[in-house]
Amino acid sequence: MTKASLEILQPVNGQSFLFRKFDKFAFDAPYHFHSEYELTCILKGSGKRFVGNHMEDFETGDLVLLGPNLPHCWKLDPEKDQAEASAIVIQFGAAFLGDDFFNKTEMRFVKNLFQKSVCGINFNSCTKISVNQYLMTLSEEENSFKLLIGLLDALHRLASSNNYVLLDQSGTIAKRSIAEQERINPVFAYLVENFRQQVSLDVAAGIANMTPNAFCKYFKKITRKTFMETIIGYRLNYAIQQLVQTDKPISDIAFESGFGDVSHFYKMFKLKMHLSPLNYRKKFMRSFDEENVQVA
């Protein structure tokens, strides 16, 4: 069973931060967390991104800034050819340039960016395009000083942008103590790896070393959702992606998403989306066709 754990990062060759380019094997990393900030640029690949208790599709060009101790992972879509999947990942501590560096007046916008990153920040539009191109150029830089200046420049560009959305907006996970995170994060890792299969409350409670009753209360206190609401949320999110990206029968999507009963899937889907799965697919396809006509 995969468990989320605290990852200890060690910069190499005396550098104060990590700037690395990964191939597809990096996407095998489990749901994990660390005390460093992390800026991730997906050069190629698509699948599901998990940040805190937030789950969302990602694709080539995905650009996300994560705050310290915010658990996360990127999972490639196994049904697609992902042989060339790759990413640039930059990780640095809050004090990697000194305890007071980011408290300087000149860095106030970057400090504000860091404060928002506790939720995870997904950048979009022209910001994503320009910063990703800049990071790709930096990935070829061998001079450590120029690399450092480049990182600060990238952070400044991100701090100056309004083209973003916050991911785990509750911020409830990252704000917890390390001890609490080491208790709850393995539970989320269990869900991330198993939500499409049978998920056991007893197993989840056992991972947290609690009785099922105490665990349910603790989980809702931490996440503001019940354990079952969280599981259903993951399953519906996955089902929505399958509805709009494939032509699979709805019954197949229901079972592949983790629902053991098609009627229950229909009920939960309509409760969240206010449409049946079939009508949701039809509405999406109409919108897609209209957009194509406008572009043409």
The CATH code for residues 195-288 is: 1.10.10.60
The pLDDT of residue 293 is 46
Q: How far apart are CA 244 and CA 247, in angstroms?
A: 8
Nearest-angstrom CA–CA distance, 213 and 13: 49
Choice between 142 and 180, residue whose per-residue pLDDT is larger:
142
Pick the CATH number of 18-166 from 3.40.50.1580, 2.60.120.280, 2.40.50.100, 3.20.130.10: 2.60.120.280
Asked whether the domain spanning 195-288 has the same topology as the one spanning 18-166, the reply is no
Sign of the torsion formed by the C-alpha atoms of 290, 291, 294 and 296? negative
35-49, 115-129, 155-169, 170-184, range with the lowest pLDDT:
170-184
The CA distance from 198 to 194, in Å, is 7
Whether 175 has a pLDDT exceeding 80, the answer reads: no
Cα distance between residue 291 and residue 296, in whole Å? 9
The average confidence (pLDDT) of the chain is 89
Q: Is the pLDDT of residue 159 over 90?
A: yes
pTM above 0.85, yes or no: no
Q: What is the CA radius of gyration of the chain?
A: 20
How far is residue 88's CA from residue 261's CA, in Å, rounded to a whole number?
41
Res. 183 pLDDT band, cuts 50 70 90? confident
Annotated domain spans of the chain: 18-166, 195-288
pLDDT at 26: 84
- Asked whether the predicted pLDDT for residue 201 surpasses 80, the reply is yes
pLDDT on residue 296: 45
Q: What is the pLDDT of residue 177?
A: 77
Least confident of 13-17, 32-36, 139-143, 216-220: 13-17
Least confident of 1-5, 151-155, 171-175: 1-5
Q: What percent of the chain has pLDDT over 90?
A: 68
* pLDDT of 287 higher than 80: no
Which residue(s) pair with 41 in the sheet?
63, 88
Calpha distance 52→287 (Å, rounded): 31
Confidence of residue 168 (pLDDT cuts 50, 70, 90): confident
pLDDT at res. 29: 86
The mean pLDDT value for 238-265 works out to 93
Question: Which of 3-7, 13-17, 191-195 bottoms out in mean pLDDT, i.e. has the lowest?
Answer: 3-7
Give one DSSP letter per residue of the chain, joined into a string: -----BPPP--STT-SSEEEEE-GGGGGPPSBB-SSEEEEEEEE--EEEEETTEEEEE-TT-EEEE-TT--EEEEE-TTS--TT-EEEEEEE-TTTT-TTGGGSGGGHHHHHHHHHGGG-EEE-HHHHHHHHHHHHHHTT---HHHHHHHHHHHHHHHHT---EEESSTT-TTTTS-HHHHHHHHHHHHHHHHHTTS---HHHHHHHTTS-HHHHHHHHHHHHSS-HHHHHHHHHHHHHHHHHHH----HHHHHHHTT-S-HHHHHHHHHHHHSS-HHHHHHHHHHHHHHHHHHH-
**Per-residue model confidence (pLDDT) at position 1:** 38
In this prediction, residue 285 carries a pLDDT of 80
